[in-house]
Amino acid sequence: MRIPLDISNEIPLYRQIENWFRTNIQSGSLPAETKLPSTRELANELGVSRITVKNAYTNLESDGVVYTREGSGTYVSPPIPDLGVRPPIQPATWPLWQMEVEDDYAIEPAPPYLSPSDTIAFIGVGDPREFPLKEFARTVREVFDHDGIEALEYGGLHAGYPPLRETIAHILASQGIAARPGEVLVTGGSQQALALVCQALLKPGDTVLVEKPTYNFALELFRSLKLKITGIPVDSQGMQVEYLEPVLQKQHPRLIYTIPVFQNPSGMCMSISRRRQLLELAARYNVPILEDDFVSDLRYEGRSLPAIKSLDPGGQVIYTGTFSKMLMPGLRIGYLLADGPIFDRLLRLKWVQDLATSNLMQHVLDTYVTVGRYQSHVRRSTRLYRKRRDAMQMAIRRYLPAGVTYAVPHGGLFLWLRLPEGMTCTELLPKAMHQGVEFSPGTRYFPDPDEGLPFIRLNFATHTPEEIDEGIRRLGKAMRDA
C-alpha cells in the first residue's frame, strides 16, 4: 500500500495512516473484507515503527472501521453509515444574517503554522526543548495519585484552585509584590486576564493608552473590542510618561496598558521615576493601570525595579502575570491580581466567560511549582537565555549591515531591531523566509501598523547559539537581497 506520509506535517504519522485507510474505505477503494497488511509488513514498507501502524489499526478497529480475525489478520468491516462528507455550501446561500457579519477590525492572519522544517524561526516564547518534561510528567502522575478524581471535577466556581492562589501569592511576595491569595484570580493565560479587564472596564468607543510599540495580541484584543487606541512612545527608559498628561486631559482614556519590564517588543524597562509619575498621573486623572508583567524574572543584568503594583497604595493597578513564558505555554494558566470592587467584577466575568480554568492543570501546576523550584527554573533559564542574547548580538555584528540598530535589553526574550534606512519589514519578510529564517514584523506592534515598517522583532531564546548564528547569517543574506 502506498500511503503518502508527510513527516513535516503536524498530524502524527499514525493518524495520517489511519486517515488514509478511513478515506479509502469510505470511498470504496478498499471494499469490505479486504485484508490489511500486517503491522510488520506495513511498518517496513512505510519506514515507520510498528507501534505507529499498530496505533492506527487500533483506532480504526475501535471505531468499527476494520476488525480482527483471531490468528488471521485485520479486515475492512462491512459498510458503515455515511460519516458525513458533504459538499461545501455555496457562499451565495449563506443565511442573510451571516452575510451581515462584517469584520471591521483587521486581525493579521496567524503566521503559517507549518514552516519548512529547516527554517530558523526567531518567534514564539521560550525554548520548548528546555521544558522540564520528565519532571512535569512525574508531577501529573503525582496529582492523579494524590488528588485522584478531585482534580478532574469542576473544582467549583471560584477564583481558582485555592492552594495555587496561595502559591502565586508566595511567588509574588518573593518578588516584592505583597499579594493576598484572595486577590489572585487564575485565568486562561494572561491573554484572558487582559480580555477580562477590558470587558470589565471598557465599552466600545472608549480609549485605551498603550506603549508604542506594544504586545500585538493586546492590540488585536483592543481592536476586536472596538476601542480607540492611543500610543505613547517608548524610549530606553520605557513609556515616555512626559507625553501622557496632555493625552489624559484631552482623550479621557479609560485604561492605561503597560508592560514595564523587558517590554514586548522593545525589551526596555520603565525607570522607577517614570513608574511613580505614571501612578501619580493615573490617580490624578482617575484612570486604572493594567500592568502586564509577562517576563520580569528573566533578568540578565542590573537590579530589578519594584513593580508598579508594589508602589500602588491600593486599588489603582491591576497586575497580570503568567506561567506560560517560564514553564509550559500549553498549560494556558495565567493570573491577575486586583483589589477593591473590581476584583469581584472580574471574577464574575470569568465565571460567565468559561466557568473556570482547567482544574487538572491548576492542580498539576500547583504541585509542580513551589517558590524554590520556580526560582531555580528561573535561574536556569536566565543563564541559558543570557548566553543566547549575547550570541545573537555577536551574530548581528558579524552578519548584519551597519545600518541595523538596537538597544540591548537587560532581560526578556526579544531584540527589537531598526532596519537600515529605506528597508521595510514587509519587504524583508518574504526574502527572509526564502533564506530559511523567520522574524516577527514590526507592523504587528503599533496601533498604526505603518509606524512599524522599519522594525523587526527577534526572539533570541528559542534557539541554540549555533542556530542563532546560522539564522542571523541567513537574515544578513536576506537584507542584502532587499
| Cα within 13 Å of Cα(174), Cβ side | 15
User: For its own copies, which residue of 250, 252, 348, 397 counts as binding (CB under 8 A)?
Assistant: 348
Question: Whose CA is closest to 287, among 359, 330, 232?
Answer: 232
Q: How many binding residues for its own copies (CB under 8 A)? A: 119
User: For its own copies, which residue of 5, 152, 384, 407 counts as binding (CB under 8 A)?
Assistant: 152
Q: 243 or 351: whose CB is closer to its own copies? A: 351
- Phi and psi angles of residue 259, each rounded to the nearest 5 degrees, phi first: -120, 90
Task: Establish if 192 lies at the interface with its own copies (CB under 8 A).
Answer: yes
DSSP letter (8 states) at residue 299: B
- Phi and psi angles of residue 322, each rounded to the nearest 5 degrees, phi first: -155, 155
Question: Whose CA is closest to 424, among 436, 441, 440, 438?
Answer: 441
Q: 144 or 300: whose CB is closer to its own copies? A: 144
Task: Establish if 326 lies at the interface with its own copies (CB under 8 A).
Answer: no
Sign of CA dihedral 295, 296, 297, 300: positive
Q: Smallest distance from the beta carbon of 366 to its own copies, in angstroms?
A: 9
Task: Establish if 372 lies at the interface with its own copies (CB under 8 A).
Answer: yes
Task: Find where cell 545573537 sits.
Answer: 392
Name the one range near its own copies by CB under 8 A: 36-44, 135-143, 421-429, 441-449: 135-143
Q: 174 or 273: whose CB is closer to its own copies? A: 174
User: For its own copies, which residue of 20, 75, 77, 140 counts as binding (CB under 8 A)?
Assistant: 140
Task: Establish if 300 lies at the interface with its own copies (CB under 8 A).
Answer: no
Binding residues for its own copies restricted to 378-417, rule: CB under 8 A: none
Binding residues for its own copies restricted to 269-298, rule: CB under 8 A: 283, 286-288
Task: Establish if 59 lies at the interface with its own copies (CB under 8 A).
Answer: yes
Contact 259, 245 (CB under 8 A): no
DSSP letter (8 states) at residue 305: P
Task: Establish if 467 lies at the interface with its own copies (CB under 8 A).
Answer: no
Q: 65 or 428: whose CB is closer to its own copies? A: 65
Binding residues for its own copies restricted to 63-122, rule: CB under 8 A: 63-64, 81-86, 88-89, 91, 93-99, 101, 103, 107, 110, 113
- Phi and psi angles of residue 354, each rounded to the nearest 5 degrees, phi first: -155, 20
Q: 180 or 480: whose CB is closer to its own copies? A: 180
DSSP letter (8 states) at residue 205: T
The CA distance from 462 to 389, in Å, is 10
3-state DSSP call for residue 479? Answer: helix
- Within 214-269, residue ranges assigned H as helices are 216-224, 244-251
Task: Establish if 249 lies at the interface with its own copies (CB under 8 A).
Answer: no
